[in-house]
């Protein structure tokens, strides 16, 4: 009971929230968005269609989707004054920090709309702007950190290939849009699109509950996702594999460290607060990892270490008893590395995928007029004490 708090982002003091967006069953490994299974969506849908489904609750008809996606592409350019903000960041700035600052700066250029029940058209425009500009801001954060010239968006591209062009195209090298890679990227973004009341989505709901704008709430979500126990885990996975590789591939040493209660080391990419059997996304993403590495002919020694770790974790009684299975972050880092992304961009990619979920949950929370979040606590401090009469202030 020490310091116990309940996160009240829903009805007064129930300690939980209600939502129609995503359903998770941690025991059975079920993940559904507005009733559609993640397996179906990953296999048959596109990231922007899943984004529409999450935000508006239904799969769009062809004309609606065409209008919506072309509207998004038209808004993918970012105001020149925001581009100038980049110049103020040192190349050492982590792209996640740059991204959260820039998303907050959108409020300076676009009027804040906060009530979907009153000004739905303004909210829809805010949603379009955010979905449109985050990939540009993400790619520009990367190029800025590399001291490379920015690649501007092209509204004629589709959403995912536009991002990949901005990331990897430059004046010396074109970027050929490989359909297998685009399919893998769509799948990866879909697998990250929403995940019930995870740390960053809960943060977006908490910040939105004070009637801060969607931009500001999403900026807070980006910062929550950055942590290594949450979205930052995909970067931490690769860094862990590189550490094991540098240590001569001595996996047993790191397995022993993960088991040692006195050692703070944890196997990054393993375990989950909700899934206590398997993360359904991991099964899908593991196959995507194999397909992509085969397609690219990548023979990554880190993948060999990863597969040995996975085999041990799935059989070692310690991990089986603690139900520590590979989660979505375990495999995503390996794919991102194979696609040429630098590790500091991995969590940014998670943010790109999670954006529709944050938007959907913010919009739902505002539509349901959920009250301001005000967690309570169990006080475990001192009882009342009188200030000493004879004390002179130090």
Name the residues that contact ligand SDX, by CB under 6 A.
195, 198, 229-230, 233, 258, 266-274, 322, 324, 327-329
User: Minimal CA–CA distance to 332: which of 221, 215, 241?
Assistant: 241
- The single residue listed with the structure tokens 């993918």 is 76
CA dist list (Å): 369 to 101, 204, 312, 360: 27, 15, 47, 14
208 within 8 A of 365, measured Cβ to Cβ: yes
Question: Could you list the active site residues?
Answer: 272, 329
**270: three-class secondary structure by DSSP:** strand
Residue 229 Cβ vs ligand SDX, minimum distance, rounded to whole Å: 4
Pick 132 or 359: Cβ nearer ligand SDX? 359
User: Based on CB atoms, which residue is closest to ligand SDX, 45 or 136?
Assistant: 45
Give the H or E element holding residue 86.
Answer: helix 80-86
A 10 A CB-CB count for 264 gives: 7
Residue sitting closest to ligand SDX (CB): 271
Q: What is the CA radius of gyration of the chain?
A: 22
State which residue, 168 or 325, has the beta carbon closest to ligand SDX.
325
Which of 125/312 has CB closer to ligand SDX?
312
DSSP calls for 41-70: HHHH--HHHHHHHHHHSSPPPHHHHHHHHH
Our CB check for ligand SDX shows the closer of 329 and 364 to be 329
For the CB of residue 262, give the shortest distance to ligand SDX in the complex, in Å: 11
State the nearest-atom distance from the C-beta of 328 to ligand SDX, in Å: 6
Distance, in Å, from the CA atom of 33 to the CA atom of 44, rounded to the nearest integer, reads 14
What's the CA gap between 379 and 231, in Å, rounded?
A: 31
Cβ 72 to ligand SDX, closest distance in Å? 23
- Min. distance of Cβ 258 from ligand SDX in angstroms? 4
């Amino acid at each position: 009971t020490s310091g116990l708090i309940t996160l009240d982002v829903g009805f007064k003091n129930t300690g939980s929230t209600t939502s129609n967006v995503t359903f998770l069953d941690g025991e059975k490994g079920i993940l559904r968005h507005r009733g559609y299974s993640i397996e179906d969506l990953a296999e048959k849908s596109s990231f922007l269609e899943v984004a529409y489904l999450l935000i508006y609750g239904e799969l769009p008809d062809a004309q609606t989707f065409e209008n919506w996606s072309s509207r998004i592409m038209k808004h993918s350019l970012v105001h020149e004054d925001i581009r100038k903000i980049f110049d103020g960041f040192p190349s050492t700035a982590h792209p996640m920090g740059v991204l959260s600052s820039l998303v907050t700066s959108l409020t300076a250029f676009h009027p804040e709309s906060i009530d979907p029940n009153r000004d739905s058209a303004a909210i829809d425009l805010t949603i379009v702007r955010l979905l449109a500009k985050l990939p540009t801001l993400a790619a520009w954060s990367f190029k800025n950190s590399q001291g490379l010239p920015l690649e501007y968006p092209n509204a004629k591209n589709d959403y995912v290939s536009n991002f990949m062009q901005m990331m990897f195209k430059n004046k010396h090298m074109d970027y050929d849009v490989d359909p297998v890679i685009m399919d893998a990227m769509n799948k990866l973004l879909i697998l990250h699109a929403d995940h019930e009341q995870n740390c960053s989505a809960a943060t977006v709901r908490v910040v939105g509950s004070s009637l801060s704008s969607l931009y500001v709430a999403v900026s807070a979500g980006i910062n929550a996702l950055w942590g290594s126990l949450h979205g930052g885990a995909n970067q931490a996975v690769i860094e862990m594999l590189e550490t094991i590789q540098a240590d001569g591939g001595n996996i047993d040493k790191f397995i022993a460290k993960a088991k040692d209660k006195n050692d703070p080391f944890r196997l990054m990419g393993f375990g989950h607060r909700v899934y206590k059997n398997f993360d359904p996304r991991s099964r899908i993403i593991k196959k995507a990892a194999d397909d992509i590495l085969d397609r690219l002919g990548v023979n990554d020694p880190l993948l060999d270490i990863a597969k040995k770790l996975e085999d041990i974790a799935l059989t070692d009684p310690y991990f089986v008893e603690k139900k520590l299975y590979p989660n979505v972050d375990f495999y995503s880092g390996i794919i991102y590395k194979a696609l040429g992304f630098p590790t500091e961009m991995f969590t940014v990619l998670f943010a790109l995928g999670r954006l529709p979920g944050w938007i959907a949950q913010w919009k739902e929370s505002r539509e349901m007029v959920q009250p301001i979040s005000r967690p309570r606590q169990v006080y475990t401090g001192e009882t009342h004490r009188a200030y000493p009469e004879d004390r002179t202030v130090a």
